[in-house]
A and B are shown apart, each in its own frame.
Chain A
Amino acid sequence: MTTPSFHCLLHCVMGNERQKPKHMKKTFQIVVTLAMMFLMSCNNNTQTAAGPSSIEANSDAGQANVKDDASMKDIVKVAVGSPDHTTLVSALKQADLVDVLANPGPFTVFAPTNEAFNKLPKGTLNELMKAEKKTDLQNILQYHVTTSSLRADYFKDGQTIGMVNGDNISVSVKDGKVVLNNSAAIVASVQASNGMVHIVDAVLLPPVKK
C-alpha cells in the first residue's frame, strides 16, 4: 500500500506535478491519450436519433457520465484512477453505486484495497459479485460510505459513525492511527471533489442481522 509506486500514481491522479518523475510523465501521457480515444469513441456511441442540436448531452445516463476534465476528481474518478482499487471499482459498478458516488455528496468512503478484498475468505467476493447477491453487496459497500465529508483529523477515539446502509461503525484513534471496527486501519487519505476517500486495509463487514 505504501509502496512508492502507489503514491506515484496517486500523485498523478491528483495532479501533483512536483513529485512526478519523468518516466511517470510519459505513462501519464499515455493514459491521457487512451482516455481521450475512449472518450471519443464514447461520443460516437451516444448519438441519438432526435434532437435539435448535434452537440450531445447525456440524455439518460447518471452523473458519473458527465464529461468534465476541468473539475477536481470525484470519488468515482479517484477510485478508478487507483490500480489498488480495481476490485472496489468493479464492486461499485455491480452494486449500482457509481452514479451515487459521483453526485454532490458529501461523502466519506472507506476504500478497501485489492489486497484488503483478497483477505476475505476465499470465494466470498465471487459470491457477492453474483447478480442474486446484489443486495448483500450493496449492503457491504454502503457500510463503507457515510454522508458527510470527514477529514482524517475529524475522527475521534470512541466515535460512532452512521453509515449509508443504516449500521454504525466504531472509530478508535491510537497514536494518530485511525482504526475502524478494531479491524480496518486508514493507510492513506485522498480529497475528492465530493468528499474524502480514506484507503483502508480491510473490508468492513456489517453486523449480522438477527
Chain B
Amino acid sequence: MNKSSKLIAIITVAVASVMIGCKPRGAQSAVSGDAAQKTYVAPGKYDEFYDFVSGGFSGQMSVYGLPSGRLFRVIPVFSVDPEKGYGYSEETKAMLNTSHGYVPWDDLHHIALSETNGVQDGRWVFGNGNNTPRIARVDLKTFRTAEIIEIPNSAGNHSSPFITENSEYVVAGTRFSVPLDNTNGDVPINTYKQNFKGTVSFIRVDTSGRMNIAFQIQTPGVNFDLARAGKGKSHGWVFFSCYNSEKANTLLEVNASQRDKDFIMCVNWKKAEGYVKAGKAEKRTVAYAHNVYSEVTHSATSEIEKEVLVLDPKNCPDMVYFMPCPKSPHGCDTDPSGEYIVGSGKLAAVIPVFSFTKIQKAITDKNYDGDYDGIPVLKYESVLHGEVQKPGLGPLHTEFDADGNAYTSFFVSSEIVKWRISDLKVLDRVPTYYSVGHLSVPGGPTRKPWGKYVIAYNKITKDRYLPTGPELAQSAQLYDISGEKMKLLLDFPTIGEPHYAEAIPADLIVKNSQKIYKIEDNQNPFAAKGDANARVERKGNEVHAYITAIRSHFTPDNIEGVKLGDVVYFHVTNLEQDWDIPHGFAVKGANNAELLIMPGETQTLAWKPDRVGVFPIYCTDFCSALHQEMQGYVRVSAPGSTVPITFSTGKNEPTGPIAQNK
C-alpha cells in the first residue's frame, strides 16, 4: 500500500466504526411510554412484591420492593456488617463460626424461599455460602439470619440452596470436587480422576425451620452448578446440572468444554431416604459448624458436629441417573407442572427440554447410553421433549409464567427470550443492559408463578448510570410480561453481585413481620430488664456493664473503676417497646463496631481500652429529639489504681471547687 491508499483505508475504517457507533436510535425506544406509571409506587404506598436478591460477593441478601425497585434492607448473612454489629457483637460472632474458625465473609449466590405444596409461603428464605460451604436460613418475621449450617465434604457450595416443594429439604451440590474430608487430602492435584469426588447434600428442614444434614450422596468428580427440585408429578426428585464431566483439574476454560454433552444428574430422594432408613448410608467422621440464633436469648450458639451419613450410588441402585445435556449446563429448571426440565448449557446452541414422564419410562425400559462411573446414563433422545433451536447465545437460566411460557436469560447475547414449552417456539426477545445472568419471575420456580414481571440481573452496567470510577453497580431490570411482548419498565442498581432473586407477594410476609421483641421474653443472660437491674460488676479483669437504653439516656451513663488491662463488656438492653426505635451504642477506640439494639433486645460489645483516660459512649441511631444528649463516660484508670467500680445516671453531681469567672 502506498501512503495515500493507506489513508483511504484508514478513513474507511473510521467511517465503518462510526457506522457501528451511530446505529440509529429513537426509532424504537427501549422503554415504553407508560413505564413510569407502571413502576411508580406513591410515597407511603406499599409495593406489590418483596424481592429477595442475593448479594454475590457481598455475602449478604438485599430486600427490594417491586415494581418500584426501592431498597428496604440489606440482611447480613455471611459477611460481617458493622452497621448492625453483625459478626462484631458477642451475641452474633458465633453465627460466622465454621470448622475453619471465624469466617467473616462469603459469597451468596442463590435464594430459595420456603414453600408449602409448591407455593411460596413466606416463612424463610435460604441462601448459600459458596466459598466456605454453608447454607443460611433467614427468618422472614425478623428479616434476620436465624441459622447457618456448614456443609462437609464440599468445596464451593454453588449448586445450592434449592428447595423441595414442601421445604422438606434444601440441597447443596459442591462446585469443586475434592478429596473428601475423611480421606487423606494430601494428594497430587493431577490425581483428580482417582481421588476427587463430588457430593450433593440433603439438608432437612423441620417445621420450626431448623436444619440438619440428613444425608449426602457421593458422586463422580464433576462440578455441580445449579439444581431444582421436582414438583407435582416429579416431586421426590432433584435435578442437578453438572459440568466438567471431563474431570479436568486445570485450564477448565479449555479442558472442561471438550465433550459435546455434560449431564443433569437426577436424584430420587425418596429412594435415598429409603436407603438411609435401611442402613445403607455410611457414617463418616467430618467436622462442620451448626450455628443457631435464638430470638429469645438474643444470641447465637455454635456447635461443631462430627458425623454425616453418606450414600454411595454403587450400593443404592435406582437412586441416581445422569441425563446428557449439551455443553456445560448452568440452569436446570423445572416448569410449574413438574413435567419439564429445562437445561441451559452455557456453551450450547440449543435449549434442551426434558420430559419427566419420558425419564421415568427410560428408567423403566433401562434405555441407557452406557454409564458414567457406574451410574446409568439415560439416552438423550429417549428423555427429550424437544430442543429450542438457536434461541440465543449463552443460555443460562429459565423461569416460567403460569401460561406455559418460559423465559431464558442469555449472557452472551445479552437478552431474555420468551418461548413456549409446548411447541418450543420462540415468541419474543428483549435486550438487557448488559449481560444478564440469572432472571426471576415472581413465583417463577414454583408450582404457582405469580407472573407479571421478569427481572434480569445484569453483570455489566458500563454506561447505564452516572459513572462511579472503575467499580460500577450491577443492576436489576424489570420487564412487564403481562402482554405478549415483554416491555422494559425500569432498571435499578443492586448491592454486590445480584446472582439470583426470588420475588413473593408482599401480603405473604407483611402480616407476619415482627415489630418489637417483648422485654419480658428476653432471656439473654446479660439482659438488664429495667433500670433497677442496670449495674457494673468486676470479675477478675472482666468488667461487665449491664446497661439499659431508653429515650434518651443510658443507665448507667457514668462508669468508673475500669483499669487498663480490663476487658469491658457493655451488655446493652434496649428497654423501648416501640416499633422502629432501635438504639445504637458505640465507645471511642473500640476495635470492632457499634451495636444496633432492637426494642426489647440485649446485645454486647467487648472493648479493651488501650490507654488511661475518659472515654465517651453514645447512642448511634437517631432515636429522639434528645438523641444527641444520649451519651455518657467511662473512666479508665492505671492498672494499679484503687478507683472503685462506681456507676450511676443522674447522681454523679459535680464536686470540688468550681472555677469562677473573676
Q: Interface of chain B, helix or strand or loop or mixed?
A: loop
- Contact partner of A35 (CB less than 8 A), chosen from B18, B30, B253, is B18
Chain A CB within 8 A of B539 CB = no
Chain A CB within 8 A of B372 CB = no
- Contact partner of A166 (CB less than 8 A), chosen from B30, B348, B465, B466, is B348
Chain B CB within 8 A of A99 CB = yes
Chain B 326-363 interface 0/1 with A at a Cβ cutoff of 8 Å (1 = within):
01000000000000000000111110000000000000
> Which of B411, B433, B463 neighbours the largest number of chain A CB atoms within 10 Å of its CB?
B463
Q: Which residues of A contact B393 (CB under 8 A)?
A: 100, 142, 147, 164
Write the chain A residue with the least CB distance to B259: A162
Chain B CB within 8 A of A104 CB = yes
Chain B 1-43 interface 0/1 with A at a Cβ cutoff of 8 Å (1 = within):
1010011011111111111111101101111000000000000
Can you list 7 residue pairs at the A/B interface with Cβ under 8 Å?
A35-B17, A46-B25, A68-B463, A89-B16, A98-B20, A103-B411, A168-B260
Chain B CB within 8 A of A42 CB = yes
Contact between chains at B29 and A59 (CB < 8 Å): yes
Q: Which residues of B contact A42 (CB under 8 A)?
A: 18, 21-22
Chain A 113-139 interface 0/1 with B at a Cβ cutoff of 8 Å (1 = within):
000000000000000000000010010
**Which of A79-87, A183-191, A197-205 lies at the interface with chain B?**
A79-87
A114 to chain B, nearest CB (A): 11
Q: Which residues of B contact A34 (CB under 8 A)?
A: 11, 14
> Which of B12, B253, B464 neighbours the largest number of chain A CB atoms within 10 Å of its CB?
B253
Write the chain A residue with the least CB distance to B30: A60
A71 to B252: give the CA distance in the assembly, Å. 27
Chain A CB within 8 A of B648 CB = no
- Contact partner of A68 (CB less than 8 A), chosen from B257, B459, B462, is B462
Q: Which residues of A contact B659 (CB under 8 A)?
A: none
A30 to B13: give the CA distance in the assembly, Å. 12
Q: Which residues of B contact A89 (CB under 8 A)?
A: 16, 20
A64 to B20: give the CA distance in the assembly, Å. 8
- Contact partner of B31 (CB less than 8 A), chosen from A38, A59, A61, A162, is A59
Beyond A64-B20, A162-B347, whether A83 also contacts B12 by CB under 8 A is yes
Contact between chains at A86 and B13 (CB < 8 Å): yes
A27 to B350: give the CA distance in the assembly, Å. 46
A77 to B414: give the CA distance in the assembly, Å. 19
Contact between chains at A83 and B435 (CB < 8 Å): no
Chain B CB within 8 A of A58 CB = yes
Contact between chains at B463 and A58 (CB < 8 Å): yes
Beyond A41-B22, A68-B462, whether A166 also contacts B251 by CB under 8 A is no
Write the chain B residue with the least CB distance to A151: B254
Beyond A5-B6, A162-B347, whether A38 also contacts B21 by CB under 8 A is yes
A32 to chain B, nearest CB (A): 9
**Chain A interface residues (CB < 8 Å from chain B):** 3, 5, 9, 23, 27, 30-31, 34-35, 38-39, 41-42, 45-46, 48, 53, 55, 57-68, 76-77, 80-83, 86, 89-90, 93, 98-100, 103-106, 135, 138, 142, 147-150, 154, 160-162, 164-166, 168
Contact between chains at A150 and B462 (CB < 8 Å): no
Contact between chains at B465 and A63 (CB < 8 Å): no
Contact between chains at A150 and B254 (CB < 8 Å): yes
Write the chain B residue with the least CB distance to A83: B9
Beyond A86-B13, A100-B413, A166-B349, whether A38 also contacts B20 by CB under 8 A is no
A203 to B458: give the CA distance in the assembly, Å. 34
Chain A CB within 8 A of B263 CB = no
Query: Which 7 A-B residue pairs are closest in the complex by CB-CB distance?
Result: A166-B349, A60-B30, A38-B18, A83-B9, A34-B14, A148-B253, A80-B17
- Contact partner of B347 (CB less than 8 A), chosen from A31, A93, A147, is A147
Contact between chains at B414 and A99 (CB < 8 Å): yes
> Which of B18, B29, B465 neighbours the largest number of chain A CB atoms within 10 Å of its CB?
B18
Q: Which residues of B contact A103 (CB under 8 A)?
A: 411-412, 414, 434-435, 460
Contact between chains at A60 and B20 (CB < 8 Å): no
A66 to chain B, nearest CB (A): 5
Beyond A31-B10, A63-B434, whether A45 also contacts B349 by CB under 8 A is no
Q: Which residues of A contact B25 (CB under 8 A)?
A: 45-46, 59-61
Interface residues on chain B, number (Cβ under 8 Å): 55
Contact between chains at B466 and A55 (CB < 8 Å): yes
Q: Which residues of B contact A3 (CB under 8 A)?
A: 1
Contact between chains at A162 and B327 (CB < 8 Å): yes
Beyond A80-B16, A164-B349, whether A148 also contacts B413 by CB under 8 A is no
Chain A CB within 8 A of B258 CB = yes
Q: Which residues of B contact A142 (CB under 8 A)?
A: 349, 393
Chain A CB within 8 A of B431 CB = yes
Contact between chains at B31 and A63 (CB < 8 Å): no
Contact between chains at B251 and A23 (CB < 8 Å): no
B245 to chain A, nearest CB (A): 13
Contact between chains at A148 and B414 (CB < 8 Å): no
Q: Which residues of B contact A154 (CB under 8 A)?
A: 251, 254
Contact between chains at B9 and A60 (CB < 8 Å): no
A77 to B522: give the CA distance in the assembly, Å. 64
A27 to chain B, nearest CB (A): 6
> Which of A31, A53, A58, A60 neighbours the largest number of chain B CB atoms within 10 Å of its CB?
A60
Q: Which of B228-282 contact A (CB under 8 A)?
A: 251, 253-254, 257-258, 260
- Contact partner of B10 (CB less than 8 A), chosen from A30, A100, A164, is A30
Q: Which residues of A contact B433 (CB under 8 A)?
A: 58
Write the chain B residue with the least CB distance to A3: B1
Beyond A60-B29, A80-B20, A148-B257, whether A67 also contacts B463 by CB under 8 A is yes
Contact between chains at B23 and A63 (CB < 8 Å): no
Q: Which of B147-173 contact A (CB under 8 A)?
A: none
> Which of A31, A106, A135 neighbours the largest number of chain B CB atoms within 10 Å of its CB?
A31
Contact between chains at A76 and B6 (CB < 8 Å): no
Contact between chains at A165 and B18 (CB < 8 Å): no
Write the chain A residue with the least CB distance to B254: A154
Contact between chains at B462 and A66 (CB < 8 Å): yes
Q: Which residues of A contact B23 (CB under 8 A)?
A: 61, 65
Q: Which of B419-438 contact A (CB under 8 A)?
A: 431, 433-435
Q: Which residues of A contact B556 (CB under 8 A)?
A: none
B26 to chain A, nearest CB (A): 7
Chain B 442-467 interface 0/1 with A at a Cβ cutoff of 8 Å (1 = within):
00000000000000000110111110
Q: Which residues of A contact B411 (CB under 8 A)?
A: 103
Q: Which residues of B contact A5 (CB under 8 A)?
A: 1, 6
Q: Which residues of A contact B258 (CB under 8 A)?
A: 160
Beyond A64-B20, A103-B460, whether A48 also contacts B26 by CB under 8 A is yes
Beyond A27-B10, A103-B460, A164-B412, whether A63 also contacts B254 by CB under 8 A is no
Contact between chains at A30 and B431 (CB < 8 Å): no
Contact between chains at A104 and B13 (CB < 8 Å): no
Write the chain B residue with the least CB distance to A163: B349
Q: Which residues of A contact B460 (CB under 8 A)?
A: 63, 103-104
Contact between chains at B414 and A62 (CB < 8 Å): yes
Write the chain A residue with the least CB distance to B26: A48
Beyond A23-B3, A103-B434, whether A63 also contacts B13 by CB under 8 A is no
